[in-house]
Amino acid sequence: MQHQGAAHPVADTNAGAEANVNAKAGDSADVNAPRHLYAAVSPHLGGTCQAQLAGAVAQIADAFSAQGGKITSLAVFFRDPGQARQVDLLLRELYGAGKMPATSYIDQAPCDERSLVALEATGVAGDATVEYHSPQVTVVRYDGVAWVQTGHSAARGHWHTGNAYDRSVQAMRQTKRLLASVGASMDQILRTWFYMGGIVADDAGGAPGTQRYKELNRARTDCFRHIDFLAGRVPGPAGRTVYPASTGIGMAGDDVRLSVLALMTDRSDVLAVPLENPRQVAAFDYGQHYSPQSPKFSRAMAVVHGDQATTYISGTASITASETQHLGDAARQTEETLENIAALIGEENLAGHGLPGFGTGLRGLGLVRAYVKHLEDYPAVRAICEQRLGGIPIVYAIGDVCREDLLVELEGIAHSARPGAPGA
């Protein structure tokens, strides 16, 4: 990995390039067992998007190599989405041919007003092989398991004739092609991120009064109808409802983009367990008034590999049952959201889903992303997250949550290990 970005120092970054190590990864006797690495950088200095980007990329590279690891995915948050093409060219140059990780371009401004760009990265250290297939697909292999991360094309198509439904379908078809390029398929998806411009607006290309997010849900329902997600990997009775964990969030412009994480393995002992939240109605059972075709996602997806669990937590908001709580109060919405996440990944819920011993708390989180609707709420949201989550990497970006009354949404990745298991 090249470090020429160091020529544009961005010292004193917000969250810094903190590598959160999954302390319990692998057998304690096996120092080479793969470890997940996470970083978030919201640069303060550097006068241009390019300078900030180069500095942040170098910081992440340094932090990951200090852990003996490599980057596996990158998410770029833009203040000026018009920079995407330039940023893509610069990233290709910085990483070098065949070394650029799957990158997602998210047209959401970093909350830190000094940041022209913010980066979130995942990485892996230890006995794992990282294959950089293209700037849109990374495959990580270890222990007979392949993780496939997809990203976005920086090229902006001439979408303007497409309606929200068609563009959502196009995003899913593109993802299907990307997965197929490495031998993976849609039913292996365990996590989706849907980014949608104007998510709560009426769909200009659709019937009058049709909200764009509802059209995304209609498209997703149609595309997912015949997909048997993670078949054979989900314990319990056959025929239960299984959808990936997900985020559905607004961004600037009118594009629709999808990133996914998929799991490819012949191993039958690697489990994928969709989690629901005891404090919430399942999203796929939401009432019709919310969206005629319900949002097809699970509250989280726990992947269990030996005595380790990695839990992908969907975008989570201040909803209990199916009602928004704390109207107009971003601080209390943040607290409620953290309560929801704590309940979701707690021992009682994991045991209730057939995974006793794999519960954890907010301390189990390795990475969090915070979407804030109004910039004025950022200080309060950040203060609460830092107080409750400590120094883990967190990107804060401006995004419309897909319900008008929600002011904040949090997603993340948690790690836990079953105690008492051999090597735990």
Residues carrying an active site annotation = 409
Q: Closest distance between ligand 3EB and the C-beta of residue 152, in Å?
A: 17
Distance CA 252, CA 400 (A): 9
- Of 248, 359, 364, 393, the one binding ligand 3EB (CB under 6 A) is 248
Q: Does 163 bind ligand 3EB (CB under 6 A)?
A: no
At 353, list the tokens: 């889903």
In the complex, which residue's CB is closest to ligand 3EB?
Answer: 248
| Least distance (Å) between residue 420 CB and ligand 3EB | 34
Distance CA 161, CA 174 (A): 18
Q: Which of helix, strand or coil describes residue 216? A: helix
- Of 198 and 248, CB closest to ligand 3EB: 248
Stretch that binds ligand 3EB, among 71-79, 156-164, 196-204, 311-319 (CB under 6 A): 311-319
Q: Is 111 in the site for ligand 3EB (CB under 6 A)?
A: no
Alpha-carbon distances of 397 from 57, 78, 369, 379, rounded to whole Å: 18, 9, 8, 12
The rounded distance, in Å, linking the Cα atoms of 318 and 322 is 10
Q: Which helix (H) or strand (E) holds 340?
A: helix 330-345
Binding mask 383-402 for ligand 3EB (x = CB under 6 A): -------------------x
Return the half-sphere exposure (C-beta side, CA atoms, 13 A cut-off) of residue 379: 1
Select the span of 4-12, 242-250, 377-385, 413-421 touching ligand 3EB (CB under 6 A).
Answer: 242-250
# of chain residues touching ligand 3EB (CB under 6 A): 12
Q: Which of 64, 77, 95, 194 binds ligand 3EB (CB under 6 A)?
A: 194
The interface region with ligand 3EB, picked from 83-91, 98-106, 265-273, 313-321 by CB under 6 A, is: 313-321
198 part of the interface to ligand 3EB, by CB under 6 A = no
Q: How far is CA 220 from CA 191, 224, 286, 292, in A?
A: 14, 6, 15, 12
Q: Which is nearer to ligand 3EB, 14 or 246 (CB)?
A: 246
The stretch near ligand 3EB (CB under 6 A) out of 51-59, 196-204, 245-253, 268-276 is 245-253
Comparison of 212 and 382: residue with beta carbon closer to ligand 3EB: 212
The 3-state DSSP class for residue 48 equals coil
Q: Using only the alpha carbons of the chain, give its radius of gyration.
A: 20
Applying the rule CB under 6 A, the residues between 249 and 288 that interact with ligand 3EB are 283
Question: Beta strands 129-134 and 137-142: pairing type?
Answer: antiparallel
Alpha helices in 227-373 (DSSP H): 330-345, 347-352
- Asked if residue 37 lies in contact with residue 92, where contact means CB atoms within 8 angstroms, the answer is no
Shortest Cβ distance from residue 25 to ligand 3EB (Å)?
A: 27
| From 303, 317, 365, 417, residue interacting with ligand 3EB (rule: CB under 6 A) | 317
End-to-end alpha-carbon separation of the chain, Å? Answer: 33
Which CB atom, from 30 or from 404, has the smaller least distance to ligand 3EB? 404
Antiparallel, parallel or unpaired: β 129-134 and 189-197:
unpaired
Q: What 3-state DSSP class applies to 255? A: coil
CB of 194 to ligand 3EB, least distance (A): 5
Q: What is the DSSP letter of 100?
A: P
User: Residues 247, 298, 337, 360: which binds ligand 3EB (CB under 6 A)?
Assistant: 247
Residue 311 makes contact with ligand 3EB by CB under 6 A? no
The token pair that represents 395 in the structure block: 């990107």
Instruction: Compose the 288-307 pattern: x for residues touching ligand 3EB by CB under 6 A, - for all others.
Output: -------x-x----------
Q: Does 244 bind ligand 3EB (CB under 6 A)?
A: no
58 binds ligand 3EB (CB under 6 A): no
* Shortest separation between residue 177's beta carbon and ligand 3EB, angstroms: 21
Residues 6+ apart with CB under 8 A from 49: 78, 79, 80, 83, 86, 87, 116, 117
DSSP letter at 188 equals G
Angstrom distance (rounded) from CA 393 to CA 112:
14
Q: Which residues bind ligand 3EB (CB under 6 A)?
A: 194, 246-248, 283, 295, 297, 314-315, 317, 319, 402
